[in-house]
Structure 1
Amino acid sequence: MDTPSEAWLSDPQMLRAMAHPLRLRILGSLRVDGPATSAILARRLGTDSGQTSHHLRFLARYGFVEDDPAKGRGARGRERWWRAAHEATRWSDTAAGPEGAEVGRAMDGAVRRMWDDAVGAYWSQVSRDEWSAQWRAVAGGGDGVLRTTPERLEQLRSDIWNLIRDADNPDAGEGSETVFVVFQAYPYQTGAK
């Protein structure tokens, strides 16, 4: 995809609008599953094409999705194919002004619920023995704590995103799967100093 790699959300209105669960799922599906019409997205997401169409227009207004010229308009010229305009989305509450913490929390909450759903789906698939032992051995999460500066944390974030991009191999072939990687880094203060 010849697109900028990241979209930055900094406007409070935009953050609030993107915190909508269906908009997040639509954007995620276009990134993971590829271009689609509103009808295809409705089937993928278990909703109706009227809802997906409405939210697609909204996402397009803010530049998160765009027409996919490779797909055209279909045989009868009526289908509108959409694709994600960016590979990733980042947001910061600092640029969102006085209501930044409120909208940042709303966005984080909506995205975390979406990630939780994806992890839950993985564990449901594991319980049905749908993943090989090899995939189960490498899948998982973890956490760690480090002491650093804002500048070094930004460098770490950049390095991690570069590692993710470098590891992406759309032509990996047989045995390859789509993998989602979640990265969070927040400063933490204990109750006592």
Structure 2
Amino acid sequence: MQFYAAAMDLTSITPSPAGMKALSHPVRLRMLGLLRAEGAATATTLAARLGLNTGATSYHLRQLAQHGFVVEDTERGNARDRWWKAAHQSTRTAREEHPDQATRETLDALVQSVAIVMTEQLQRAVEERGQLSDEWRNASTFSDWGIRLTPARARALVQALADTFDDVEEDDTEDAADFIIQINAYPRPGTATGSEGEQS
């Protein structure tokens, strides 16, 4: 899994289980995403962007810093006005073939938070669609595909898609904008676990 990645990602972090647990909070994911996308900021600035008080923001920043996700930007601010920046451009999780139960639960908690933040971003994109130019509307898509695959072929497909995005070179022209690509790939709920229930 990879999230909040730049197309030309040169730095990434693969957190330990303790780091994944610390990151398993939607507010911290939003905060880290803002620092990666928009650059360094103070706790006060982040608090205003996220609708939090500065005390809560400072606490979450300390948690992120403790596990190496953010660092103090020593080129800005002072003792009273500390600036923070992302330490890496993306977070990747290691793929373990047979992780222990605690690691599985920690990763699942992180994925749950990622899903919350990604869903919020997707909803905001839909809400802002009416303000986009025709060019950006036509360049965007809200689509899904359903195909029948084995786990090995499904994993290979996801890797091929990720490799494609890793090879994309960024544009540095006036008409360029940050373009988000989300990959959500999973067995249709109820088809691979043996669980029952109505499916849409």
TM-score by length of 1: 0.78
Is this contact kept in 2: 1:56–1:65, CA < 8 A? yes
**Pairs within 5 Å for 1:24-173:** 24-69=29-74, 71-74=75-78, 77-92=79-94, 94=96, 97-126=100-129, 129-144=130-145, 145=147, 148=152, 152=156, 156=160, 159-163=163-167, 166-169=168-171, 171-173=172-174
Asked whether the equivalents of residues 93 and 100 of structure 1 are also in contact (C-alpha less than 8 Å), the reply is: no
Q: Deviations over 1:82-120 (max 9, x none)?
A: 111111112247386321222222111111110110110
> How many pairs are equivalent?
181
* Structure 1 residues 184 and 141: CA distance shift in structure 2, 3 A: same
Structure 1: distance between partners of 2:142 and 2:94:
24
Tell me the CA shift for residue 141 of structure 1: 3.5
SS of the residue 2:131 aligns to = coil
Tell whether the 8 Å contact from 1:67 to 1:80 is kept in structure 2 after alignment. Answer: yes
Task: String of CA shifts for 1:52-85, please: whole Å, max 9, x gaps.
Answer: 111111101110001223x4225xx521111111
Moved more, 43-52 or 175-184: 175-184
Partner residue, 1:5: 11
TM-score, normalization: structure 2? 0.76
* Partner of residue 23, structure 1: 28
* Higher relative contact order, structure no. (Cα contacts within 8 Å, ≥ 6 residues apart): 2
What amino acid is the match of 2:114? V
Structure 1: 5+ residue stretches without partners = none
Q: In the alignment, is the contact (CA less than 8 A) between 1:10 and 1:93 conserved in 2? A: no
Percent of aligned positions that are identical = 30
Per-residue deviation, 1:153: 5.5
Q: Is the 8 A contact 2:158 2:185 kept in 1?
A: no
Unaligned runs of 5+ in 2: 1-5, 195-200
